[in-house]
Amino acid sequence: MLGWLSGIAIIVTGATWLLHGILLKDLARDFLGERLKREADHAIEQVQKDHIATPIVLDSASRGFQAFHHLYVLRLGSDISSSDPRWVKALDFLLDDTSDDLVEVRDGEQHLLVYRRSFSLEEERGVLLVGEDFSQVEAGLHELHWWVAAIAAVLLLLLVLLNILAVNRGLIPLSRLRGQLGELRTGDRERLSLDVPSELDSLVIQLNRFMDEIDSRLQRSRDSVANLSHALKTPLAAVTQVLRGTRPIDDTRRQKLVQRLEEIHAQLDAELRRSRIAGPNAGRMSDLHRDCTRLTEMFRGLYPNINFTMSLPGEFEKRVPIESQDFSEMLGIVLDNAGKWASSKVDSRIVLDDVLRITVEDDGPGVPVDDLPRLGQRGRRLDESHPGYGLGLSILWQLMTRYAGKVRFEPSALGGLCVRMEVPIKESTD
């Protein structure tokens, strides 16, 4: 990238230098041409003032012209005079034209800048040529032009070096970040801690937040596996003991084995349902329409006898800064519980302003008011008539705490339980 930018800088500087030479030459030409014009006007004014003194005036002008590398050629009628006879032959072709003009003439190695001025004197037409050797001016301009090139090259080199130093200095935090990411990969570091420019603050914060999210999800997975292992251990041990025993398996013992296996099946089915609730959009912001529609359709399939309805905000395509998997678990846990207990109906409403408000109600038997404060205690189940482990609502509490949200349980107008969740939304993205 630096090489590419340096190449562009060299091209731009070279083009500027070439334009500088052209403009400098044009500026000098215009300046000298204006001076020659004033000298020609002054000389003609002197000639017209005193015709008799014309030779004296021109001789005086000739000495001045020669001292300042100037020349003149005057034709008045058929008489021609000049500051130097050799200029008559070199500039004779300019005397035939009577228009006032600034002309460049090449005479061998000399480059002349000549101003032609026509005039009238006592009914005689005259032409005065006043010129200057432009070669010496060009030599000075050429030297100045190359001095500018040398200075521009030095400045360009300094600029490139300063850019390299600035870029390398700016990349130091990225090099440290790469090193710390390597330490994270090897397990030598848990979080990023960098004194980085403000432009990278958001990157470091997002990376740390992403790692917090991974740790939280990993911890939930470990808790889930631990609870599932503990729940499966007892029925598996009972089944193994019966199968290893020498006693014949009568109908009563067979029924107990079937019951144990059904419990194992129900536990595995619950875990599979939780994985389906999480959905495929881990790491993304929650799209209310997408995630709510997916969950509603899924629970309609899991509980075909229950009518699930969902009322979404007017802005169906609204996204909220809640990780999609977390939002799916929040809503999915409540919908799953409502589907288990509902008689025929589960109503859900979502309102979005500065706070994301989720309300889920069912028409089931509900929960006694005295038992509402105990909902969400880990491993605590208030009813054993439906399969479950008392973990879902405790996970909901953890998620709400993580997003500084609130959850309330209260009796529903439908006759069952009403769950109200509120999550602060600092920023929403269309």
Residue 271 pLDDT class (50, 70, 90 cuts)? low
User: Residue 165: its pLDDT value, please?
Assistant: 86
Residue 390: count of CB within 10 angstroms of its CB:
16
User: Residue 362: its pLDDT value, please?
Assistant: 93
Residue range 197-210, pLDDT digits in tens? 666 777 777 777 77
User: Residue 363: its pLDDT value, please?
Assistant: 93
Residue 418 pLDDT class (50, 70, 90 cuts)? very high
Residues 6 or more apart in contact with residue 21 via CB below 8 angstroms: 141, 145
Residue 369 buriedness (CB in 10 A; 0-12 / 13-18 / 19+) = exposed
Residue range 75-116, pLDDT digits in tens? 877 788 887 777 887 888 888 887 888 888 887 777 888 888
The answer to whether 37 and 150 are in contact (CB under 8 A) is no
Evaluate if residue 385 carries a pLDDT over 50.
no
Residue range 20-58, pLDDT digits in tens? 888 888 888 888 888 888 888 887 887 777 654 455 545
Backbone angles phi, psi at 121, to 5 degrees: -140, 110
d(CA 57, CA 55): 5
Structure tokens at 243: 């199968």
Share of the chain above pLDDT 90, in %: 8
- The reported pTM is 0.46
Evaluate if residue 226 carries a pLDDT over 70.
no
Evaluate if residue 384 carries a pLDDT over 50.
no
User: Which range, 193-207, 227-241, 299-313, is most confident?
Assistant: 299-313
d(CA 9, CA 170): 21
